[in-house]
Protein backbone atom coordinates (compact mmCIF):
# COMPACT_ATOMS: atom_id res chain seq x y z
CA UNK A 1 0.00 0.00 0.00
CA UNK A 2 1.32 3.37 -1.05
CA UNK A 3 1.78 5.84 1.83
CA UNK A 4 -0.27 8.93 0.94
CA UNK A 5 1.86 11.56 2.57
CA UNK A 6 2.82 14.96 1.20
CA UNK A 7 5.88 13.55 -0.48
CA UNK A 8 3.84 11.05 -2.45
CA UNK A 9 1.29 13.69 -3.42
CA UNK A 10 4.04 16.03 -4.57
CA UNK A 11 5.61 13.30 -6.61
CA UNK A 12 2.17 12.81 -8.13
CA UNK A 13 1.87 16.52 -8.97
CA UNK A 14 5.25 16.36 -10.65
CA UNK A 15 4.28 13.14 -12.44
CA UNK A 16 7.31 11.52 -10.89
CA UNK A 17 5.49 8.40 -9.69
CA UNK A 18 5.60 5.11 -11.56
CA UNK A 19 2.45 4.52 -13.64
CA UNK A 20 1.14 1.86 -11.26
CA UNK A 21 1.33 4.22 -8.28
CA UNK A 22 -0.18 7.08 -10.28
CA UNK A 23 -3.17 4.85 -10.95
CA UNK A 24 -3.41 3.78 -7.32
CA UNK A 25 -3.28 7.38 -6.15
CA UNK A 26 -5.86 8.50 -8.71
CA UNK A 27 -8.23 5.86 -7.46
CA UNK A 28 -7.64 7.01 -3.91
CA UNK A 29 -8.24 10.63 -4.92
CA UNK A 30 -11.61 9.73 -6.37
CA UNK A 31 -12.63 7.92 -3.21
CA UNK A 32 -11.16 10.07 -0.48
CA UNK A 33 -12.00 13.76 -0.06
CA UNK A 34 -9.27 14.23 2.57
CA UNK A 35 -6.59 13.19 0.12
CA UNK A 36 -8.17 15.41 -2.55
CA UNK A 37 -8.16 18.43 -0.22
CA UNK A 38 -4.57 17.85 0.75
CA UNK A 39 -3.58 17.62 -2.89
CA UNK A 40 -5.26 20.90 -3.76
CA UNK A 41 -3.59 22.57 -0.75
CA UNK A 42 -0.22 21.40 -1.97
CA UNK A 43 -0.90 22.56 -5.50
CA UNK A 44 -1.98 25.97 -4.14
CA UNK A 45 1.13 26.23 -1.94
CA UNK A 46 3.30 25.39 -4.87
CA UNK A 47 1.57 27.86 -7.15
CA UNK A 48 1.83 30.59 -4.51
CA UNK A 49 5.51 29.87 -4.21
CA UNK A 50 5.17 29.13 -0.47
CA UNK A 51 7.18 25.97 -0.89
CA UNK A 52 9.01 25.05 -3.99
CA UNK A 53 8.82 21.39 -4.89
CA UNK A 54 12.57 21.25 -4.33
CA UNK A 55 12.21 22.54 -0.75
CA UNK A 56 9.56 20.02 0.10
CA UNK A 57 11.35 17.14 -1.53
CA UNK A 58 14.52 18.03 0.34
CA UNK A 59 12.62 18.27 3.60
CA UNK A 60 11.20 14.84 2.96
CA UNK A 61 14.65 13.66 1.98
CA UNK A 62 13.49 12.85 -1.47
CA UNK A 63 16.32 14.47 -3.33
CA UNK A 64 18.17 12.30 -5.81
CA UNK A 65 21.45 10.63 -4.84
CA UNK A 66 24.36 11.31 -7.17
CA UNK A 67 25.38 8.79 -9.81
CA UNK A 68 28.54 8.03 -7.78
CA UNK A 69 26.37 7.30 -4.78
CA UNK A 70 24.17 4.95 -6.77
CA UNK A 71 27.39 3.21 -7.83
CA UNK A 72 28.41 2.78 -4.18
CA UNK A 73 24.90 1.58 -3.43
CA UNK A 74 25.28 -1.21 -5.99
CA UNK A 75 28.62 -2.18 -4.44
CA UNK A 76 27.07 -1.98 -0.96
CA UNK A 77 29.80 0.47 0.05
CA UNK A 78 27.86 2.87 2.25
CA UNK A 79 26.20 3.27 5.62
CA UNK A 80 23.07 1.26 6.25
CA UNK A 81 21.03 4.41 6.75
CA UNK A 82 22.05 5.85 3.42
CA UNK A 83 21.49 2.52 1.70
CA UNK A 84 17.95 2.40 3.11
CA UNK A 85 17.31 5.89 1.82
CA UNK A 86 18.51 5.09 -1.68
CA UNK A 87 16.58 1.84 -1.71
CA UNK A 88 13.46 3.76 -0.68
CA UNK A 89 14.11 6.41 -3.28
CA UNK A 90 14.58 3.94 -6.10
CA UNK A 91 12.16 1.19 -5.14
CA UNK A 92 9.35 2.86 -3.17
CA UNK A 93 9.30 6.34 -4.67
CA UNK A 94 10.36 4.78 -7.95
CA UNK A 95 12.29 7.84 -9.12
CA UNK A 96 12.62 7.25 -12.84
CA UNK A 97 15.81 9.21 -13.16
CA UNK A 98 17.61 7.22 -10.46
CA UNK A 99 16.11 3.95 -11.66
CA UNK A 100 17.67 4.42 -15.07
CA UNK A 101 21.00 5.35 -13.49
CA UNK A 102 20.75 2.28 -11.33
CA UNK A 103 19.95 -0.02 -14.28
CA UNK A 104 22.77 1.45 -16.28
CA UNK A 105 25.31 1.12 -13.46
CA UNK A 106 24.15 -2.37 -12.45
CA UNK A 107 24.62 -3.51 -16.02
CA UNK A 108 28.18 -2.19 -16.27
CA UNK A 109 28.96 -3.52 -12.80
CA UNK A 110 27.72 -6.93 -13.89
CA UNK A 111 29.84 -6.86 -17.04
CA UNK A 112 32.89 -5.84 -15.05
CA UNK A 113 32.32 -8.77 -12.66
CA UNK A 114 32.06 -11.18 -15.60
CA UNK A 115 35.31 -9.82 -17.06
CA UNK A 116 37.06 -10.16 -13.69
CA UNK A 117 35.92 -13.79 -13.37
CA UNK A 118 37.15 -14.58 -16.88
CA UNK A 119 40.48 -12.95 -16.16
CA UNK A 120 40.86 -14.96 -12.98
CA UNK A 121 39.92 -18.17 -14.76
CA UNK A 122 42.33 -17.41 -17.58
CA UNK A 123 45.17 -16.66 -15.17
CA UNK A 124 44.63 -19.86 -13.20
CA UNK A 125 44.53 -21.87 -16.45
CA UNK A 126 47.77 -20.30 -17.56
CA UNK A 127 49.25 -21.00 -14.12
CA UNK A 128 48.21 -24.64 -14.34
CA UNK A 129 49.66 -25.05 -17.84
CA UNK A 130 52.95 -23.51 -16.71
CA UNK A 131 53.11 -25.78 -13.67
CA UNK A 132 52.37 -28.84 -15.81
CA UNK A 133 54.90 -27.85 -18.45
Residue 64 interacts with Zn ion (CB under 5 A)?
yes
Give the residue among 89, 96, 94 at the shortest CA–CA distance from 60.
89
CA 96 to chain centre: 7
Instruction: Judge whether 9 and 42 are in contact, CB under 8 Å.
Output: yes
Smallest separation, CB 87 to Zn ion (Å) = 12
Smallest separation, CB 75 to Zn ion (Å) = 18
Smallest separation, CB 96 to Zn ion (Å) = 8
Residues in the interface with Zn ion (CB under 5 A) total: 4
CA atoms within 13 A on the CB side of 83: 9
Residue 32 or 103: the one with the smaller Cβ distance to Zn ion is: 103
Cα 24 from Cα 26, distance rounded (Å): 5
- Which of these ranges, 47-55, 57-65, 77-85, 125-133, lies near Zn ion under the rule CB under 5 A? 57-65
Residue 88 or 122: the one with the smaller Cβ distance to Zn ion is: 88
- Which of these ranges, 18-26, 33-41, 89-97, 124-132, lies near Zn ion under the rule CB under 5 A? 89-97
Give the residue among 29, 19, 14 at the shortest CA–CA distance from 60.
14
* Residues at the contact surface with Zn ion, assessed by CB under 5 A: 64, 95, 97-98
Amino acid sequence: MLPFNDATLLAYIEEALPAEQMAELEKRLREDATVRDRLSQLVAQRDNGVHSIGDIWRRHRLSCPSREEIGSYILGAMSEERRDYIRFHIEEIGCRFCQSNWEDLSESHHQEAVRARRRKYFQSSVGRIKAEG
